[in-house]
Chains A and B, each alone.
Chain A
């Protein structure tokens, strides 16, 4: 308990000290505390003796020593404000620990006789009155302090803070209103005004005050994020308007951006940060944001943020990361544009080594093997053996995606990728060799969606080969979804044991297109799985997807009906917990804050 109180008091000292310039240069409570605490107690120094006694919980000895420090600090010969403050806070701590809170008051009053405006003594006095429930006395003490330093914001700040921390927001509001009247402006107190409004849940005034405060007190950013991320959904647009309004400052925009991330809106988060005038601080903020977006898996937003960094700083790392984020976000074409823009007028080994792997990967994703090969050839003088080998795998992928299996095989042979399960597995599958495909693909560590999809189908048939099935997957790789859907649905009529899996694959392809017409076609396919293959492993997924499609189209009643059907008919399905959760959401029965 004593330790907690002491820590709190040290923080109070530092906060007041920093604000009032008592401890110039001190910015962190712990650092300050370490500076004033000698490692080996000096028993001749009364302050060291006091702290040592306090650590031993020897309240009597500590109090006596602190009083000695205080008497010396207040003597005209010494007049040491720092020592007086430390002694006062020490006395407050030890007497609080001993349950003698009131004992501090006569001491404080003596200090105030010689140091009328002493912020530490005044703060202790207010705290003692407020915690003792002596509101009137606190008010009188505050007025005295205000008269002692009529042009300073400190009395208002301290009194308002203490009122706020005891949950008395309305009283704090009165004090801050008075501050605005007597000081001419409450600008110096905007941090307190913001906290006040947060405690009263007046979110828009809180946002305005935080925006003002951040201009002068950037360290408030974290408390602003903490406070404002609780803003309820209906009020968020108003907060956005405040933060995004003129003047556009990095502090306010970074705050808005952090809030948007906390509210699960990464796209808006970047939109908040992007328009800030570019300088070194802004670039650093963009860089930090881009890394955050990557960690969030918001690849296209990371791409945009890295692009902004790239255009400001031009460093190769940002070009590389922008292009890579674009590829991860399925924007390989955009990655090529970024690489071209980032490497303009720049050549040489460093540029090539940094950017060529990303460029080849992008060309591979786009199924442009000839271009990829040409880029490798054009830059071969900059490539060492290791890098060249690394580039061959995406090149094989490029040939595979282009549907040119012959070239893919040649490239794979050149690259000696015969041991590479992923390449060998896909080559086998596309050729219709289901035995090899099954054996090799299952060993691949990287679990891409396409690989899982392929394995799901392969595990449902004992067929040794099927060129038609290979062709269907090859069509998927070539991104010809319409044709692939047709092929899978047709195959369902021939590979009967895998029919529900094939129809489900087609339905997933349709759903992934995220177009109303495609969703309608997906629904037809899911209904078919449910009706024709009710005992298949795909049936629960079909019902779940059916319900979700209905929900997305606004038919919540129908969606609930289907979800209940899933729970009744497939109660042991692994999808049941997800279905129950979605049911609760649709029925509006999840409490706020529910995950």
Chain B
């Protein structure tokens, strides 16, 4: 019987990259998929099918890359693919076509501070190309060159994450302050808070005009604070020489912000928190909340493909990890924000998504998914020791999500 079938039907035409527990290296799998897009090959993301599997052509270069990186693949012929499609059609699953490799920019300084950036680590490990951008690039209006911009640890309120109290004499802190002051002078800004507000405004416009923004850690909270405090001084005297305005809370323009509303700005320069947006407040000893674990929510793949893409994972419960901003208090979320993950029973959530203007944004709390208490000066996480990290997968979901062919959202 077999010999009567055309040879084409027996040969593998596709390569499935399973993303469930059978995958040996989840993080590198994103790199292989990105390579396919970069080479203008067709790729599909099979949402909710085997942990969010990828369907790629059975091309020699992709096979070689997958093999070298230790990515588990399965050859499929047309018949097997048809069977999978039938299965997908019958369940809460969907196949999303990935069109092209997104142009990625990571907002990060050239001289790295003594902490690392989980997204840079993830992209470097997965082998996904990106460009580094910094204040000058944003202010010169370069962001529209990119599809996807990532922010990590930056304090867009210009208060250096309030590290002034403890680190004002540290060489890296002094260098960071001097660098920012020099940039502020170059762009005719009176101080660092003014500079960072202008940068935050550039990022806001990028999203408004159709860009994809992914922010983690302190960048989430500080970006929204900076854009909402457009006409208010919320910076401590160590940053701009003046105390913050005493009625700052009432003057915040939350309508300008992406995710939050009605938050209380922390005016004390001695309290290491920017506001009450973060639920965990790790750097304020008397307010610090212990870490738990957060659960990824289920979405309808056919009706809410974007949210579904962002939560594709082989684990649904993930141990939490601290960051300058670890989580987001439910009380300050804007209506309409989609919660992608939260800790059960806690007053905070972990992972958010929303639309803004023509673009969209995603906020993920915490600093390093594989180092729950990553401290200043800690060594960067060696991801080759965590190839199946479910937390890092969330970051990489965001990298591929802008590659998806746009479908109108049905809800």
Q: Does B286 contact A (CB under 8 A)?
A: yes
**Contact partner, A169, options B69, B170, B384, Cβ 8 Å:** B170
Contacts A133-B270, A166-B166, A201-B171: A592 and B68 contacting too (C-beta < 8 A)? no
Q: Are B171 and A594 in contact (CB under 8 A)?
A: no
Q: Are A168 and B67 in contact (CB under 8 A)?
A: no
Q: Does B168 contact A (CB under 8 A)?
A: yes
Among B121, B169, B286, B379, max chain A CB count under 10 A is at: B169
Interfacial chain B residues near A166, Cβ < 8 Å: 165-166
Q: Does B179 contact A (CB under 8 A)?
A: no
Q: Are A571 and B67 in contact (CB under 8 A)?
A: yes
Q: How far is the CB of A97 from chain B (nearest CB, A)?
A: 10
CB proximity to A under 8 Å, residues B330-347: none
Q: How far is the CB of A120 from chain B (nearest CB, A)?
A: 23
Q: Does B382 contact A (CB under 8 A)?
A: yes
Contacts A591-B380, A594-B385: A168 and B270 contacting too (C-beta < 8 A)? no
Q: How far is the CB of B395 from chain A (nearest CB, A)?
A: 17
Interface membership of chain B positions 65-99, coded 1 if the CB is closer than 8 angstroms to chain A and 0 otherwise: 00111100000000000000000000000000000
Q: Does A388 contact B (CB under 8 A)?
A: no
Q: Are B165 and A593 in contact (CB under 8 A)?
A: no
Interface membership of chain B positions 112-141, coded 1 if the CB is closer than 8 angstroms to chain A and 0 otherwise: 000000000100100000000000000000
Q: Which among A299-307, A433-441, A495-503, A576-584 touches the partner chain?
A: A576-584
Bound Cα distance from A169 to B168, whole angstroms: 9
Q: How far is the CB of A203 from chain B (nearest CB, A)?
A: 13
Q: How far is the CB of A142 from chain B (nearest CB, A)?
A: 17
Contacts A99-B286, A168-B168: A595 and B270 contacting too (C-beta < 8 A)? no
Bound Cα distance from A576 to B70, whole angstroms: 8
Q: Are B64 and A171 in contact (CB under 8 A)?
A: no
Contacts A568-B68, A571-B67: A167 and B170 contacting too (C-beta < 8 A)? yes
CB proximity to B under 8 Å, residues A487-525: none
Q: Are B171 and A592 in contact (CB under 8 A)?
A: no
Q: Does A564 contact B (CB under 8 A)?
A: yes
Q: Are A590 and B382 in contact (CB under 8 A)?
A: yes
Bound Cα distance from A584 to B380, whole angstroms: 15
Q: Does A567 contact B (CB under 8 A)?
A: yes
Interface membership of chain A positions 543-580, coded 1 if the CB is closer than 8 angstroms to chain B and 0 otherwise: 00000000000000000000010011001000011001
Q: Does A340 contact B (CB under 8 A)?
A: no
Q: How far is the CB of B394 from chain A (nearest CB, A)?
A: 21
Q: How far is the CB of B148 from chain A (nearest CB, A)?
A: 23
Q: Are B380 and A593 in contact (CB under 8 A)?
A: yes
Interfacial chain A residues near B67, Cβ < 8 Å: 567-568, 571
Q: Which residue of chain A has its CB nearest to the CB of B169?
A: A170
**Contact partner, B382, options A168, A580, A591, Cβ 8 Å:** A591
Q: Does A132 contact B (CB under 8 A)?
A: yes
Q: Are B168 and A594 in contact (CB under 8 A)?
A: no
- A interface, by DSSP: helix, strand, loop or mixed? loop
**Contact partner, B165, options A99, A133, A170, A568, Cβ 8 Å:** A133
Q: Does B381 contact A (CB under 8 A)?
A: yes
Q: Does A200 contact B (CB under 8 A)?
A: yes
Interfacial chain B residues near A584, Cβ < 8 Å: 384
Q: Which residue of chain A has its CB nearest to the CB of B384?
A: A584
Bound Cα distance from A451 to B166, whole angstroms: 60
Bound Cα distance from A592 to B385, whole angstroms: 13
Bound Cα distance from A286 to B67, whole angstroms: 50
Q: How far is the CB of B159 from chain A (nearest CB, A)?
A: 14
Interfacial chain B residues near A589, Cβ < 8 Å: 124
Q: How far is the CB of B221 from chain A (nearest CB, A)?
A: 22
Q: Does B167 contact A (CB under 8 A)?
A: yes
Interfacial chain B residues near A583, Cβ < 8 Å: 68
Interfacial chain A residues near B369, Cβ < 8 Å: none
Bound Cα distance from A590 to B269, whole angstroms: 38
Instruction: Count residues of chain B with CB under 8 A from any CB of chain A.
Output: 24
Q: Are A594 and B384 in contact (CB under 8 A)?
A: yes
**Contact partner, A567, options B68, B166, B379, Cβ 8 Å:** B68
Interfacial chain B residues near A571, Cβ < 8 Å: 67, 70
**Contact partner, B269, options A133, A167, A168, Cβ 8 Å:** A133
Q: How far is the CB of A189 from chain B (nearest CB, A)?
A: 18
Interfacial chain B residues near A593, Cβ < 8 Å: 379-380, 382
Interfacial chain B residues near A580, Cβ < 8 Å: 68-70, 384
Q: How far is the CB of B127 from chain A (nearest CB, A)?
A: 10
Bound Cα distance from A568 to B61, whole angstroms: 11
Bound Cα distance from A334 to B236, whole angstroms: 71
Contacts A593-B379, A594-B384: A167 and B68 contacting too (C-beta < 8 A)? no
Q: Are B166 and A594 in contact (CB under 8 A)?
A: no
Interfacial chain A residues near B70, Cβ < 8 Å: 567, 571, 576-577, 580
Bound Cα distance from A589 to B168, whole angstroms: 32
CB proximity to A under 8 Å, residues B153-181: 165-171
Q: Which residue of chain A has its CB nearest to the CB of B166?
A: A167
Interfacial chain A residues near B269, Cβ < 8 Å: 133
Interfacial chain B residues near A592, Cβ < 8 Å: 379-380
Interface membership of chain B positions 36-54, coded 1 if the CB is closer than 8 angstroms to chain A and 0 otherwise: 0000000000000000000
Q: Which residue of chain A has its CB nearest to the CB of B66?
A: A571
Bound Cα distance from A567 to B67, whole angstroms: 6
Q: Which residue of chain A has its CB nearest to the CB of B167?
A: A167
Interfacial chain A residues near B285, Cβ < 8 Å: 1
Bound Cα distance from A584 to B25, whole angstroms: 15
List of 3 A-B pairs having minimum Cβ-Cβ separation, nearest first: A593-B379, A170-B169, A594-B382
23 A-B residue pairs with Cβ-Cβ distance under 8 Å, sorted by A, are A1-B285, A99-B286, A133-B270, A166-B166, A167-B169, A168-B166, A168-B169, A169-B170, A173-B169, A199-B170, A201-B171, A567-B70, A571-B70, A576-B70, A577-B70, A580-B68, A580-B384, A581-B384, A591-B382, A593-B380, A593-B382, A594-B379, A594-B384
- Interface positions of B (Cβ within 8 A of A): 64, 67-70, 121, 124, 165-171, 269-270, 285-286, 379-382, 384-385
